[in-house]
């Protein structure tokens, strides 16, 4: 079994709200709520927002600034860390080659658009 580890969502970086490439920020509290709903639901991973099921999220750890502090974890970013088992070896190959560089969990979270 091949597990691929990474960030499904980033909430903060260097203590500041993180805005993703689509211009959205997912606050820590929203990320935790979305993670609970996601992990008690489908746990489905997709290939870069194309809607095609590619695997299953096996592990998830929501790291907020409060959790990091309580656990003695020094971290420059917070968010949802995941371990994904992909169904298709071709997807893992694309990840290893750097052709796929991010996760696309199949869940919706309320986020704040840039400039809002």
Q: From 63, 76, 68, select the one nearest 28 (Cα to Cα).
A: 63
Q: Is a pLDDT exceeding 90 seen at residue 75?
A: yes
Regarding pTM above 0.95, the answer is: no
Question: Can you give the pLDDT at residue 51?
Answer: 72
Which structure tokens are listed for 85?
């088992």
Domain limits, the chain: 3-15+25-97
Confidence of residue 110 (pLDDT cuts 50, 70, 90): very low
Please give the angle made by the CA atoms of 56, 75 and 95, to the nearest 5 degrees: 35
């Amino acid at each position: 079994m091949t597990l691929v580890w990474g960030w499904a969502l980033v909430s903060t970086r260097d203590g500041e709200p993180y805005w993703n490439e689509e211009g959205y920020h997912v606050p820590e509290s929203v990320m935790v709520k979305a993670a609970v709903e996601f992990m008690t639901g489908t746990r489905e991973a997709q290939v870069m927002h194309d809607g095609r099921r590619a695997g299953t999220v096996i592990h998830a750890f929501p790291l907020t600034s409060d959790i990091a502090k309580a656990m003695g974890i020094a971290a420059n970013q917070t968010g949802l860390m995941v371990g994904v088992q992909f169904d298709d070896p071709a997807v893992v190959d694309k990840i290893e080659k750097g052709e796929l560089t991010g996760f696309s969990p199949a869940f919706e979270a309320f986020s704040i658009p840039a400039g809002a």
